[in-house]
Amino acid sequence: MSVSTAFFDQLYAHNNDPWAFRERWYEQRKRAITLASLPRQHYPAIFEVGCANGELSAGLAQRTDWLLACDTSTKAVELARQRLSDCPNVEVRKSRVPEQWPERRFDLIVISEVAYYLDPKALEELIELALLSLAPDGQLLACHWRPAIEGCTLTGDEVHALLHNALGWPRLAQHVEDDFILEVWGRDPMSVASLEGLR
C-alpha cells in the first residue's frame, strides 16, 4: 500500500520545510547535481512529481517554457506556489499520482524523492503513465535516498531497478553515492558531447 496523503499533511502541519530542503547542504548539493545531470539545457515542458515546497522546482523553472509541479499535500502546494510566485511559466497543482496523472505531453518528467512512497503496483502504473506522457525524444530523471525508510515498501535502489527494467531505455546519466542514487533515461542514447558535434 502506498503512503497516505494524511502522512504528508501531518509532516507539514507544524513545519514548512520538514526535510530542511532550504537549510541543509546535503539538499542544496543534491539539487545542484540534479540540475547539472540534465542532458539538455532547455525542455519545452517538464512535469515534476512530488514538488514538496518548491525548492527543486525553482531550478527546473529556469530550464523550461512550462513546468507543471504537483504534490499530494495541500500545505506543500501552498508553499510551492508562494516559492514560485515570481515564475509565470510554472503551474502547481494538488494531485496524487498515479491516480491523478496530467493529460498532456512532456519533454522531461522528474521523479525526485517520491517513488519509494508508492507500492510496487502504483509505481508500475506511474511508469506506464510516464511512458505514455513523454514526447518521442522525452527523458526521465529519478533521484532517491538509498537507505531503507520506515513505512516504505521500496528502497531507492529498488525503485531505480524497477524504473530501468520497465523503461527499457539507455541511461544518459548516473550518479551513485552512499546516500542517494540519481539516473536519467532517454529514448535517444546520444551523449551531450555527441549532440554538440564533439564526438
| pLDDT digits 0-9 by tens, 155-169 | 999 999 999 999 999
Contact 74, 9 (CB under 8 A): yes
- According to DSSP, residue 114 is labeled -
Q: Is the pTM of this model over 0.85?
A: yes
Amino acid 1: pLDDT: 46
Which residue has cell 522531461? 108
- According to DSSP, residue 2 is labeled P
Round to whole Å and give the CA distance between 101 and 117. Answer: 16
- Rounded to an integer, the average pLDDT of 35-50 is 98
Amino acid 182: pLDDT: 98
Amino acid 9: pLDDT: 66
Round to whole Å and give the CA distance between 166 and 157. Answer: 14
* Structural domains present in the chain: 5-195 (3.40.50.150)
- Rounded to an integer, the average pLDDT of 38-49 is 98
- Rounded to an integer, the average pLDDT of 5-25 is 79
| pLDDT digits 0-9 by tens, 70-112 | 999 999 999 999 999 999 999 999 999 999 999 999 999 999 9
**Contacts of 91 by beta carbon, 8 Å cutoff, 6+ apart:** 66, 67, 68, 69
At position 58, the amino acid (one-letter code) is: A
